[in-house]
A and B are shown apart, each in its own frame.
Chain A
Amino acid sequence: DIVMTQSPDSLAVSLGERATINCKSSQNILYSSINKNYIAWYQQKPGQSPKLLIYWASTRESGVPDRFSGSGSGTDFTLTISSLQAADVAVYYCQQYYSSPYTFGQGTKLEIK
């Protein structure tokens, strides 16, 4: 199974500042023939269901603000929020969909400093 490890487990950032969350996969999740990384990022606000933010490592889902961006390739990936808003307080998860079981990271809790 592919293990997804996020860092840090929790993060406190001031409003308007940058937040960076990392995700490392235990094996390569780049499908080289099509040059796509099989990783998605989700946001789960308190009391809500998860919401898809980014897929293919860097493609924003429709309606997601452009302050959210994803990067990385192979085994190391990053979710960046360029200017933190109060509405961004949530737990963020990465997920690999390269091979079954389609595992999630343990989550990163993002709070306001």
Chain B
Amino acid sequence: QVYLVESGGGVVQPGRSLRLACAASGFTFSSYGMHWVRQAPGKGLEWVGVIWYDGSNKYYGDAVKGRFTISRDNSKNTLHLQMNSLRVEDTAVYYCARGFCDSINCHNLLDQWGQGTLVTVSS
């Protein structure tokens, strides 16, 4: 059974930083790309970014590029999202999600999701 458990959410003032974590279990973490997706209250899904299985490549959505950084520790089966210069519009539930791999290749659709952690940016 795959488990993805996010933590680190909370209330933070605009301009400050916050670091989220996602603890993974039930699969070979080091073999999968990992994503962050967010959902503002009452709104749709917004893709935040991805880190490849070995950390060699990272890609980000336009809204967070230059402010957010994804990292991973394959020895601890943990994914992180460092969020700097936070804005009110970053308020959302943040999900970590696993990229899909078949027998041949891996792709950037999301086959397992965590329960999410809420980040509220407010003064």
Contact = CB atoms under 8 A, between A and B. Distances in A.
A66 B80 CA distance: 36
Contacts of A105: 44
A57 B107 CA distance: 14
A107 B44 contact: yes
Interface in A69-113: 91, 93, 95, 97, 100-107
Interface residues of B, number: 22
A1 B60 CA distance: 12
B44 A1 contact: no
Interface residues of A, number: 23
Given A38-B107, A97-B109, A106 B62 contact: no
B44 A93 contact: yes
A93 to B, nearest CB: 5
Interface of B: 35, 37, 44-47, 50, 59-62, 95, 100, 107-111, 113-116
Nearest to B110: A52
B47 A104 contact: yes
A67 B64 CA distance: 37
A40 B45 contact: no
Given A1-B62, A50-B113, A55-B100, A104 B45 contact: yes
